[in-house]
Every structure is written in C-alpha cells, then in structure tokens.
Amino acid sequence: NSALVWIRRDLRCYDHAALYHALRRFQRVYCAFVFDTDILNALPTRSDRRVEFIHASVCELHGELGALAARSGAPGGGLIVRHGPAVECIVQLACSLGVQEVLTNRDYEPASIARDRCVAEALRVEGIAFSDYKDQVLLEHEEVLNQQGKPYSVFTPYKRAWLQKLDAFQLTPYPVERYARHLAPLPTKEEIPGLNEVGFTTTNLHSLPLPTGTRGACQLLEDFLPRMAGYKEARDFPGRKGVSYLSVHLRFGTVSIRHLARLAMQQAVVGCEGAQTWLSELAWRDFYFMILRHHPHVVTHCFRAEYDRVQWDEAPELWQAWCEASTGYPLVDAAMRQLLQTGYMHNRLRMVVASFLTKDLGIDWRRGEYFFAQHLNDYDLAANNGGWQWAASTGCDAQPWFRIFNPVTQSQRFDPDGKFIRRYLPELAQVPDQHIHFPAAMKPLELQACGLQLGLDYPLPVVQHASARERTLMRFHFMRSQD
C-alpha cells in the first residue's frame, strides 16, 4: 500500500506530522511539493524573495529526503515537484502513483481550507482518501477554549490556558526516522524545475543574512540560543541583535515549532525570563492562527464590527511617502527601507510604522497590511492581520484607539543613539544623536554644521504628529458617536 505526502509550508523531513503518519501506516510513501500557479500568478512581480527562498528550500529538502532514505536503507526517496494549479497537480499525481491516501499538514487560512476541501472532494471521486494533521501550530483553535467552551479574544488568559495545555506530549517530536525505510523511490525522470521554469527570477536573497532550508534554520537557531536569555531585555531595540530572525523559517516550516518550543520551555521552567518571553511570542503566533480560524471575517473586516465604520483617508501623497520611506520621520523611514531592502522588519518597527500609517496618516490598515503581504519574507496572513488590527485598534485585544505611538519618542526610546536609523538612512549619518530622531527640529546653523539640507537630502515631515493625533482621536470619536 502507498501514500502521498503533500508538503506545503512544512519544508523539512524531521519532526513532521503528516510524513510520520504516512511512513508509519504505509509501505511506500512519496513526497510532493507543488509550485501552485493559483498562488504564484497572483503575486504582483516575477521577482520575489519568498519564491526564491521556497525554491532553494525545496531543492535542499529533495536532497535531505534522499539522504534520509539512504540512511534507512530505503531504495530511493526524494521530492516530486510539480508546477501548476495545486488541486489538479495533486489529484493527477495521486492517481498516476496509484496511492490510497494523500496526507498533509493542516492549514488555517480560509483560501487554503477551501482549496483542501476541493482536493479532498476530487480525491474522493477517485477513491483516494485525504487526511490532514496538526503541525504548523503548537495548539490548535479548538484546543484552547475558555470555561464556556468559547474561543478567547484576550491574549493574557489565552496564554495562561495555552501554557497549561502545553505538556511534554504536545512537544514530543514525530520520530520520522523510525519508519523512513518506507520512503518510496522517485518515479523515473523526476527533476526539480529551475526557478526560471516556475516563472521567477533571482532576487538579492543570497546577499542577505537569510540562510535557506533546514540548515539555514539550524544556523539561525544556533546563533539565537545563547542570546535567548537576554531576549526580554534586548528584543525591542532594532539596532541590537535581540531577536531570533526565525520567522521566515516558521513561515515555511523549515524549522519545527515543537522543537523551538521545547528548547524555550527547558529554559523557561528553570526561571529564564528571556525564554519565558520568547515562548510568549510563540503563543502570540498560535493566538492569531486561532483568531483567524474562528473569525475568518478578519481577512477583509475589522475584528470588532463597529470599527468598520471608521472613515479612513485616501491621502495618495501620504500613502506614497509611507511606501517610499520618505515621511520625514527617520525611524519610520529607516524601518520601511529595511523592509524594502531585506524583506524583514523588526517587530517594534512593524508596530511603529503600522501605527504611523493608521494613526498619523489616517490610512486604512488594510492597505498597509497588503503592502506588508507583498514585501515581508515571513508574510503570514494570521500574524500580519493580527498585527495590523492591533496597531489600528480594530482587532481583538488591540492597542486602545486613544493610545497613539509618537514616532519621535518611540525612536528616542528604542533607537536611542540612532544606530538603526543610520544603518538605513546614511544621509543622516552626520546628524548628532539628539536630532537624529527628528531632524526637522534642527536650527539652520545645526543643519549647516552637519551638511544636511532638509527637503533635499532628507524630506520634511509629511504631517505634524500632534495635529495628526488630534485628527485620529476625532476620527475614532466620530465612529463611536454613531452607535
């Protein structure tokens, strides 16, 4: 008997739920990945770091599956790679291989759930079973409910319940190696299509500190582990190496979430505050997956319906300034340049630029969310939507609408010596520390002393924060007065 494991955002072959179950239950197990044209054709450009990251990781996984098979004495092993609409490709492949079942790891996005229903139905017609497994999250949407059996909408009680549920069993790795001898040889003439064959060109990925595949994830993890104890204290400072940079690997499953949580838990239970805080971030990740699964309306609407009445501005020039990193607020602009140049943005800065777009520029959070979706390497619908709705005050457990980040004081607090700003805005390199956060406040002589011409070398602020803040308060007051 034989089965097909459909790999999606789980590009690894250790501690892999669907692969483990397939290998345990079937004698011959094939693994496949589809470059899904339904997803790829919707991307706005043919040069996308994520596609290149996936392509490199797929090639590595092919080799790892072969090596795993060889270690286990299996006759073959490797990854079958297709390019086309996922539903058609998987059904055709399952039929041509003659498998009895297709197994995969569960996805929680509404479009993926709909796609998986289509696949399951098309397979059923062919007499092939379809099954899916928890792998992407630590605890699923139905596993952490309140005493009334309802989903949580506030993070702190959710996290308390989440921590209580997260026992050793939940963190146990799937011993894929135990049954790896069941990996089937690849059908003949299987080759992985090149990046150009799936319609994409290379990007600057290889010049970034973003190693691909499970080896890349391992490298980042090894770098982070000695820093984990200092995470609580260092994580908010974008100029310091305080965070793990593992998000893209979590996004594409080149690292196991259980493996990460186990490592954090070992430190957290012996009182390491850094590990406890990092574990909380993994809880936020599950929290937003849970919110998306229970409340799929958040994809297009505010979590809290009344906030759909907020009247946002069109503001095309302000929007352009935000997208092009030319708002005149250095921390915002440096953050946007980090995003444009590397596809990554530090969490503190995601909060700052999202707040700036919605509360200083009065622009709908959905436009910022979409911009991030195009540019973030780690783009994930659940976390991105959750983060944007938090910053815009429209989400569950969000920043209260009357608390508005001041982009200058955020900068003074979290990039005190302007190290991060100078990294991405070299035009401000000579500006003294006390003015780096808001050069528009410099006097003519001070500007002259550091050779900076505002409006030429660096833009003047596109809005004044104090008056923008007042407008936002009125915007939200007006929305609330319509009750």
What's the rounded Cα separation, in Å, for the pair 118 and 370?
26
- Residue 286 C-beta: closest distance to ligand FAD, Å: 8
For the bound state, the minimum distance from the C-beta of residue 268 to ligand FAD, rounded and expressed in Å, comes to: 14
Residues 6+ apart with CB under 8 A from 287: 152, 155, 158, 159, 162, 386
When asked if residue 136 is in the footprint of ligand FAD (CB under 6 A), the reply is no
CB 383 within 8 A of CB 282: no
Question: Is residue 56 within 8 Å of 48, Cβ to Cβ?
Answer: no
Tell me which of 50, 182, 258, 285 binds ligand FAD, using CB under 6 A.
285
The verdict on 380 binding ligand FAD (CB under 6 A) reads yes
Minimum distance from CB of 240 to ligand FAD (Å)?
Answer: 12
Q: How far is the CB of 473 from ligand FAD (least distance, A)?
A: 21
If binding is defined by CB under 6 A, does position 388 make contact with ligand FAD? yes
Q: Are 198 and 68 in contact (CB under 8 A)?
A: no
Radius of gyration of the chain (CA): 24
- Among residues 7 and 349, whose Cβ is nearest to ligand FAD? 349
What is the torsional sign of CA 212, 214, 217, 223?
negative
Least CB distance to ligand FAD at residue 371 (A):
10
Given the complex with ligand FAD, which of 48 and 101 has the nearer CB atom?
Answer: 48
Span of 17-25, 241-249, 329-337, 471-479 interacting with ligand FAD by CB under 6 A: 241-249
Amino acid at 266: Q
CA atoms within 13 A on the CB side of 400: 3
User: Token digits for 90?
Assistant: 């998987």
* Nearest residue relative to ligand FAD (C-beta): 387
Q: Does 247 bind ligand FAD (CB under 6 A)?
A: yes
Minimum distance, C-beta of residue 433 to ligand FAD, in the bound complex (Å): 26
**Which one of 88, 177, 273, 281 is the catalytic residue?**
281
C-alpha–C-alpha distance, residues 40 and 47, integer Å: 11
Strand-pair partners of 103? 5, 131
The footprint of ligand FAD on residues 298-357 (CB under 6 A) is: 347, 350-351, 354
- Which residue has tokens 């959905």? 366
Interface with ligand FAD, residue 391, by CB under 6 A: yes
Q: Give the phi and the psi of residue 2 in degrees, each rounded to 5.
A: -140, 160
Task: Fill in the amino acid letter for 408.
Answer: V
Would you call 278 a catalytic residue per the annotation? no
Q: Which of 38, 177, 236, 281 binds ligand FAD (CB under 6 A)?
A: 281
265 binds ligand FAD (CB under 6 A): no
Instruction: Return all residues near 48 (Cβ < 8 A) that are at least 6 apart.
Output: 200, 203
Residue among 177, 312, 427, 446 flagged as catalytic: 312
Quick note: the x/- pattern for ligand FAD over 358-377, rule CB under 6 A, is: --------------x---x-
Three-state secondary-structure class, residue 227? helix
- Rounded to 5°, the CA angle 266-267-273 comes to 145
* Annotation marks residue 281 as catalytic: yes
Q: Residue 399 interacts with ligand FAD (CB under 6 A)?
A: no
| Residue 244 engages ligand FAD in binding (rule: CB under 6 A) | yes
Question: 3-state DSSP call for residue 263?
Answer: helix
Q: How far is the CB of 1 from ligand FAD (least distance, A)?
A: 37
Out of 278, 322, 388, 401, pick the active-site residue. 388
Nearest one of 208, 242, 206, 207 to 223, comparing CA atoms: 242
**Is 312 an active-site residue?**
yes
Query: Which residues of 106-258 form beta strands (DSSP E)?
Result: 129-133
Q: Respond yes or no: is residue 191 known to be catalytic.
A: no
Strands 28-36 and 2-7: parallel
Specify the residue, 203 or 342, whose C-beta has the smaller distance to ligand FAD: 342
Quick check: is 347 catalytic? yes
365 a catalytic residue: yes
Alpha helix segments (H runs only) across 126-191: 155-165, 168-171
Query: Least distance (Å) from ligand FAD to the CB of residue 226?
Result: 14
Show the tokens assigned to 254.
């080149």
Choice between 28 and 49, CB closer to ligand FAD? 49
> What are the residue numbers of the active site?
281, 284, 312, 347, 365, 388
Binding site for ligand FAD (CB under 6 A): 235, 243-247, 250-251, 281-282, 284-285, 288, 347, 350-351, 354, 372, 376, 378-380, 383-384, 386-388, 391
